[in-house]
Amino acid sequence: MSNVVALIGRPNTGKSTLFNRLVKARQAIVDSVAGVTRDRNYGLSEWNGVPFSVIDTGGYVSDSSDIYEEEIQKQVQLAIEEADVILFLVDGREGLTSMDEDIAALLRPCRKPVFLVVNKIDSSANYADQMEFYALGVSVLYPISAITGSGTGDLLDEVVKHCTPDIETEIPDDLPKLTFIGRPNVGKSSIINMLLGKDRNIVTPLAGTTRDSIYSHYKGFGYEFYLVDTAGLRKKRKVEEDVEFYSVMRTVRAVENSDVCIVMCDAANGFEAQDLNVLSLAQRNKKGIVLVVNKWDLIAKESNTHLAFEKNIRERIAPNNDIPVLFTSVLRKQRILNVLESAMQVYTNLGRRIPTSELNETLKPVIDDNPPPIVKDKVVRIKYITQLPTPTPAFVFFCNLPQYIREDYRRFLENKIRKCWDFKGVPVEVFFRKK
């Protein structure tokens, strides 16, 4: 996408704060702890009628042995390559540092517009603090306060001069959103990188690498949708950092905004209680679900190993057994595209609408052969069935005494609906109303 503005700088200079201000949303996590942002985070902004994309990056640290810092450097380099305009943020309160000089040296060979933005110039009392940054060899500085917005207007006036005003950058809201959720380190970022064919998200052996919810546009093999990477969900008692708490909240929000949740678990650890909790999160939000057992290459296999593993999972998630279960290995690129195919089929099932005439012709004979049980000498007679115009499949059965319908009979009708029509992987609700 053209008209891309990248925010570059060392840790804790206010890149994520400026990013949130530009996209007018609290999309990136902001914390006083350095190193919160790791992956590239994308958002849309607009100034004076000129739309552009904004990339938030992790803090750049040179000559670091930390595994996160090494991966963040790669992400920063990719952001520089993608960008049309670069905003180099420095901290006006702390002054010029050796890391700022290293980043300036990194950007000098870049043949793209680079703006030196001195952040945290909050008042006239520290306005003169920007002067020492002229030592980096620039002729113009842009003092701003990302928190209050002071100075950002003058900066954006110059930025949009390098953007194409008539380019279309609108992102269709009607595209499906496939959200990958699961415990930390089950391979969510790895499978998205594999599907995109590039290192869009940071991957390390350490749990908890991903913190923001990262949206990536995907178009290929006849599909077009968003792939959403999320932070791993751990048990509440293990969440100690404030940053991790906000990451979990971002994940919950991503689930709420998704269409299909791809729940991933680690084959080596088995389907644990926390995996069931993650699955329940998607179910409570009435989302389509695909269950992916990753790292299947680590399992010693016999002839029926996957059947036994799947049987164990279905016993754990009962009575919600109508969920696709796939076994993958991202490392060996096994059955990765099957995940997309299954997720898109579930998305199709979410929007399935059954004509009222077909519902009644199919289900009335079933109900006549298997009428509701008599409760307290009350005979329930179901007269009419229709599907409600809801985002997820929901059916209403009109009858004379809906209060006497038992739960086991409601489950019986739901199973019959699933048997007659393809609602695999999606929630189906059954209601009873007085005729």
Per-residue pLDDT of the chain in tens (435 residues, 90 and over written 9): 457 888 988 888 888 889 888 888 665 544 444 444 445 577 778 888 888 888 888 777 665 555 455 666 777 777 788 788 999 999 988 889 988 898 888 888 888 899 999 999 888 888 888 899 999 888 899 999 999 999 999 999 999 998 876 544 444 467 899 999 988 888 888 898 888 886 654 444 544 445 456 788 888 777 888 888 887 776 655 544 444 445 666 777 788 888 999 999 999 888 988 889 889 989 988 999 999 999 998 888 787 888 999 999 999 988 888 899 999 998 888 899 999 999 999 999 999 999 999 999 999 999 999 999 888 888 889 999 999 999 899 999 999 988 989 999 999 999 999 999 999 999 999 999 987
Task: Please say whether the structural domain 4-162 has been given the CATH code 2.30.30.280.
Answer: no
Q: Please, where in the chain does CATH 3.30.300.20 lie?
A: 356-434
Backbone φ and ψ of 41, nearest 5°: -115, 130
Q: Which fold has domain 356-434?
A: GMP Synthetase; Chain A, domain 3 (3.30.300)
DSSP-based three-state secondary structure for 170: coil
- Please state, in angstroms and rounded to a whole number, the distance separating the CA atoms of residues 34 and 27: 17
Instruction: Supply the DSSP string of 173-234, one letter for each residue.
Output: TTS-EEEEEESTTSSHHHHHHHHHTS--S---SSTT---S-EEEEEEETTEEEEEEE-----
**Total Cβ atoms within 10 A of residue 110:** 14
Token representation of residue 394: 């929901």
Backbone φ and ψ of 35, nearest 5°: 85, 20
Residue 76: predicted pLDDT: 76
Residue 265: predicted pLDDT: 92
Q: Please, where in the chain does CATH 3.40.50.300 lie?
A: 4-162, 177-350
- Please state, in angstroms and rounded to a whole number, the distance separating the CA atoms of residues 108 and 346: 49
Residue 144: predicted pLDDT: 92
Query: How do strand 223-229 and strand 177-182 relate by DSSP bridges?
Result: parallel
What's the pTM value of the predicted model, to 2 decimals?
Answer: 0.62
- Please state, in angstroms and rounded to a whole number, the distance separating the CA atoms of residues 434 and 146: 58
| Residues contacting residue 135 through CB under 8 Å, at least 6 positions apart | 96
Residue 318: predicted pLDDT: 86
Q: Which fold has domain 177-350?
A: Rossmann fold (3.40.50)
Residue 377: predicted pLDDT: 87
Q: Is 353 exposed, middle or buried (0-12, 13-18, 19+ CB in 10 A)?
A: exposed
- Please state, in angstroms and rounded to a whole number, the distance separating the CA atoms of residues 372 and 394: 19
- Please state, in angstroms and rounded to a whole number, the distance separating the CA atoms of residues 260 and 248: 18
Residue 239: predicted pLDDT: 44
DSSP-based three-state secondary structure for 142: strand
Q: Identify whether 109 is preceded by a cis peptide bond (ω within 30 of 0).
A: no
Residue 30: predicted pLDDT: 45
CB 7 within 8 A of CB 54: yes
Residue 174: predicted pLDDT: 73
3-class SS letters over 20-71: HHHHCCCCCCCCCCCCCCCCCEEEEEEECCEEEEEEECCCCCCCCCCHHHHH
3-class SS letters over 277-326: HHHHHHHHCCCEEEEEEECHHHCCCCCCHHHHHHHHHHHHHCCCCCCCEE
The closest of 423, 429, 424 to 390, measured between CA atoms, is 429
- Please state, in angstroms and rounded to a whole number, the distance separating the CA atoms of residues 27 and 321: 35
CB 90 within 8 A of CB 141: no
- Please state, in angstroms and rounded to a whole number, the distance separating the CA atoms of residues 293 and 265: 5
Token representation of residue 392: 């997820």
